[in-house]
Amino acid sequence: MKSFFLTIFFLFSIQIGFSQENRPKNNQSTILIYGSDTCHYCLDTKKYAEEHQLKFIYFDIDKDEKALKEMLTKLRQNNISTSNLNLPVVDKNGLVFTNEVDFNSFLKKLIE
């Protein structure tokens, strides 16, 4: 009888684990924008996100050292050079990208 309950408990635990893995994370639909308040591209990106009513969190990397380290880690993990960095940096559901030569193309990636 004891082994029956242990088996049921084990199977129940596995089921809970699978259902939690498939559950969307709270920040999955939230765009993370890393920038600086002294960067006009960063401020324009923030304004664009607001105008398009995107759910986002903006981190000023000049004031938030933890956010700066997090951004640099994400860039390295995605093989994006940190030596000549273009701000802002965006993390959209795990897709990390930076400002490009064509700023309008960069902005369009936020809503695609």
Which tens digits make up the pLDDT trace of 62-112? 999 999 999 999 999 999 998 888 999 999 999 999 997 799 999 999 998
pLDDT at 21 over 70: no
Residues 73-98 as b or e (16 or more Cβ within 10 Å = b): ebbeeeeeeeeeebbbbbbbeeebbb
| Length of the chain as a residue count | 112
Tell me the CATH number at 83: 3.40.30.10
Q: Do residues 62 and 38 lie in contact, with contact meaning Cβ atoms separated by under 8 Å? A: yes
**Domain that includes residue 36, residue range:** 31-111
**Dist. CA 88–CA 40, nearest whole Å:** 10
Residue with tokens 């969307």: 24
On whether residue 62 sits in a domain, the answer given is yes
**Domains contained in the chain, number:** 1
Residue 29 pLDDT level (bands cut at 50, 70, 90): confident
Domain annotation covers residue 36: yes
74 within a domain of the structure (yes/no): yes
User: Quick check: is 104 in a domain?
Assistant: yes
Would you state the pLDDT for residue 101?
A: 78
Q: At residue 3, does pLDDT exceed 80?
A: no
Query: Is the residue at 16 inside a domain?
Result: no
Give the residue, 15 or 42, on which the prediction is more confident. 42
| Residue 25: inside a domain | no
In a domain, 7, yes or no: no
Name the pLDDT band for 50 (thresholds 50, 70, 90): very high
- Asked whether residue 22 is domain-assigned, the answer is no
Distance from first CA to last CA of the chain, Å, rounded? Answer: 55
Residue 33, SS3 per DSSP? strand
Q: Report whether pLDDT(55) > 50.
A: yes
